[in-house]
Amino acid sequence: MILGLHLIGEPPIEEDCERNTDLIVLKMDPVRIACRIRKNEYYARYPNEITIRSGRPSGAKTELAKIIEGWGNYLFYGFANCDETALAAWRLCDLSALRLWLMRRLWIEKEMPGTHKKNGDGSSTFYAFDVTTMKEIIVADKGL
């Protein structure tokens, strides 16, 4: 429902009157949306952070590699509520804007921005990004 509110719009009145159109998808190409929902325990500690997996012991391609390769249009990133039955907060990120932001940071800083971390269970590594420094990637958010 949240994605529909941001990716489907009401058309101009002439579309409704002349072309039998009550709703319009803002883009006809496939829209690829990555989704990540974190446990509620991380909401209070990291509300301004998005994390993107960057390495796996197996060498499998990660989300960061796929994003850099140009895959994905949006990232839906949320935090579960206390009983983990719904969302406490979420944000919708534009992955094209994220790619541009990453390229600019790499050009200026000559290294990957964000903080590189390891999962406690050793299953992967990831970059944590502070979204307050990259507001241009946020399409919409709620509860953050």
Tens digit of pLDDT for each residue in 3-55? Answer: 777 776 666 777 666 666 666 666 667 778 899 999 999 999 999 999 999 99
Lowest average pLDDT, out of 7-16, 92-101, 102-111, 132-141, goes to 7-16
Structural domain including 88 reads 32-142
Pair (98, 121) in one structural domain: yes
> Into how many domains does the chain fold?
2
Q: Please report, as a single letter, which amino acid is at residue 2.
A: I
Pair (7, 52) in one structural domain: no
Structure tokens at 109: 């800083």
Taken as a whole, the chain contains a residue count of 144
Pair (2, 41) in one structural domain: no
The mean pLDDT of 83-93, rounded to a whole number, is 96
Pair (41, 15) in one structural domain: no
The helix/strand/coil state of 37 is: strand
The mean pLDDT of 48-70, rounded to a whole number, is 94
The mean pLDDT of 95-114, rounded to a whole number, is 93
Pair (17, 61) in one structural domain: no
User: Which residue has better confidence, 67 or 9?
Assistant: 67
Q: What is the pLDDT of residue 144?
A: 74
Contact 32, 66 (CB under 8 A): no
Short-list 93, 95, 91, 30, CA closest to 67:
95
Pair (80, 134) in one structural domain: yes
Q: Where are the alpha helices (DSSP H) in 1-144?
A: 2-7, 13-19, 41-45, 63-68, 95-109
Pair (76, 7) in one structural domain: no
Pair (91, 122) in one structural domain: yes
Q: What is the pLDDT of residue 25?
A: 66
The helix/strand/coil state of 81 is: coil
Pair (111, 136) in one structural domain: yes
Pair (86, 64) in one structural domain: yes
Pair (84, 106) in one structural domain: yes
The mean pLDDT of 59-80, rounded to a whole number, is 93
State the chain's mean pLDDT as an integer.
88
Q: What is the pLDDT of residue 5?
A: 76
Pair (42, 111) in one structural domain: yes
Contact 21, 15 (CB under 8 A): yes
> Model's pTM, two decimal places?
0.83
Q: Judge whether residue 66 has pLDDT over 70.
A: yes
Q: What is the pLDDT of residue 13?
A: 75
